[in-house]
Structure 1
């Protein structure tokens, strides 16, 4: 690949990352959320019995202290509750509340709106090609990263 093409790829990926995060942040702010909190709540809602902080961190591909900080920021929303884990007083289980569950369709709507905006009037075939290219690119980057950074 020649340098002009390398620079074009670099600019396009950096710009997409910035624009996607900003657009997502703006939409999530209307729900009282920040980027990352949407995924955390969505994952919790998939587990009716809740998850420990450690399990949630593993699913998100982050360290437990990161989850603890995110939960502290989310705590005022009433979207989850903490429950003791039977048989292990050191562990706490995070369980989504009815209020948190009610937010899930709105989170999914934000994700859907962003996907529709990004892909526009692309055909099904074009969408398939784009997703395949992005997924393969992700797969090629994985060996360079610490497995804890990847969700």
Structure 2
């Protein structure tokens, strides 16, 4: 029989909410929200890219990313530049300010990871990471709507 985990979605949501709340509390002095850091982290890892590509990477609708980029541009975290091959598109680029603050913010996140994973040895951490990766892959592959269980019909 397969072990069934009740409230799995709620558990994931609670973990994320608590993690990002702590993150925002500790990074308040920098004025970076969790959403801004996620976007900036992708941009720093992947390099300059279009707004649409960035929206896809962070899993947010393009209009929401546009508003976020507007705020971040006003705060000096990034800038939009002309696309070298497409006059209609703009490339989003991290600023020097973002690159200077990134190591400190990454270190804050690393401390939070250690706090969240306290009590787990290296093998448990490895298994947890692999398991979460597999769950992510499963959910990304689940494009088609699932059948409705008989008990719900």
SS of 2:88's partner is: strand
Cα distance change on mapping 1:105 and 1:130 into 2, 3 Å: same
TM-score, reference length from structure 1: 0.78
Cα distance change on mapping 1:47 and 1:134 into 2, 3 Å: closer
In the alignment, what sits opposite 1:35? 34
RMSD: 2.5
Separation of aligned partners in 1, 2:83 and 2:97? 22
Does structure 2 retain, via aligned residues, the 8 Å contact 1:84–1:91? Answer: yes
SS of 1:30's partner is: helix
Cα distance change on mapping 1:137 and 1:99 into 2, 3 Å: same
State the 4+ residue runs in structure 1 displaced beyond 6 angstroms: none
Within the alignment, does 1:105 sit opposite 2:108 as a pair? no
In the alignment, what sits opposite 1:81? 79
How far is the alpha carbon of 1:113 from its aligned partner?
1.2
Within the alignment, does 1:21 sit opposite 2:20 as a pair? yes
Separation of aligned partners in 1, 2:139 and 2:46? 30
Separation of aligned partners in 2, 1:11 and 1:90? 41
SS of 1:109's partner is: helix
Cα distance change on mapping 1:78 and 1:136 into 2, 3 Å: same
TM-score, reference length from structure 2: 0.77
Cα distance change on mapping 1:51 and 1:15 into 2, 3 Å: closer
Q: 1:1-151 alignment to 2 at 5 Å?
A: 6=6, 9=8, 12-48=11-47, 50-144=48-142
Gaps of 5+ in 1: 147-151
How far is the alpha carbon of 1:14 from its aligned partner?
4.1
Does structure 2 retain, via aligned residues, the 8 Å contact 1:42–1:107? Answer: no
Cα distance change on mapping 1:67 and 1:16 into 2, 3 Å: same
Does structure 2 retain, via aligned residues, the 8 Å contact 1:82–1:95? Answer: yes
The alignment covers a number of residue pairs equal to 143
SS of 1:89's partner is: coil
**Larger relative contact order (CA 8 Å, sep ≥ 6):** 1
Gaps of 5+ in 2: 145-153
